[in-house]
Amino acid sequence: MGHKTPVDNAARKAHAVTPKITLAMVLCGIVWAAGLGAANAATAPVAAPAITIKYDPAALQTERGAEQVYNQLANAAAELYPSSSPHWVPGQVREWREQSIARAVMTINSPKLAAVYNSTVRND
């Protein structure tokens, strides 16, 4: 049975029985606090946007499966925080995406997923 990974409060309530991962749950508060000191920083979202992803927990037993779950998280983050240009992502949007992915990876707590995340972060 696949896991649902909610990224919003409504999805979390609707799928309370299945394990879930909250992507960007606390991100809004973190980005807001970080943006207070920067006069030219983009305004943080008022309410953190949300997406629910599904993944098979067994997929996290292999590197390939962990890469697929990581890609789902990255795609969800890109959907949550879109860029107006396909060729350039503003720094604030990139930061929101990275924080969302990091939080989801930490919440899932899979060594293989963490390894994929770490190798991706080092290569950026």
The total of structural domains in the chain comes to 1
Residue 90: closest CA among 35, 47, 37, 14: 35
Token pair of 100 as six digits: 């969302």
Query: What is the chain's pLDDT, residue by residue, as a tens digit (124 residues)?
Result: 555 554 543 333 334 334 445 444 434 344 444 444 443 344 545 566 778 889 999 999 999 999 999 999 999 999 999 888 878 889 999 999 999 999 999 999 999 999 999 998 866 5
**Going along the chain, which residue ranges are E strands?**
3-5, 53-55
Token pair of 73 as six digits: 């998280």
pLDDT for 113 equals 97
pLDDT for 19 equals 45
pLDDT for 121 equals 82
For the segment 27-41, what is each residue's pLDDT rounded down to a tens digit?
434 444 444 444 334
Domain coverage including residue 89: 3-123
Residue type, 15: H
pLDDT for 124 equals 56
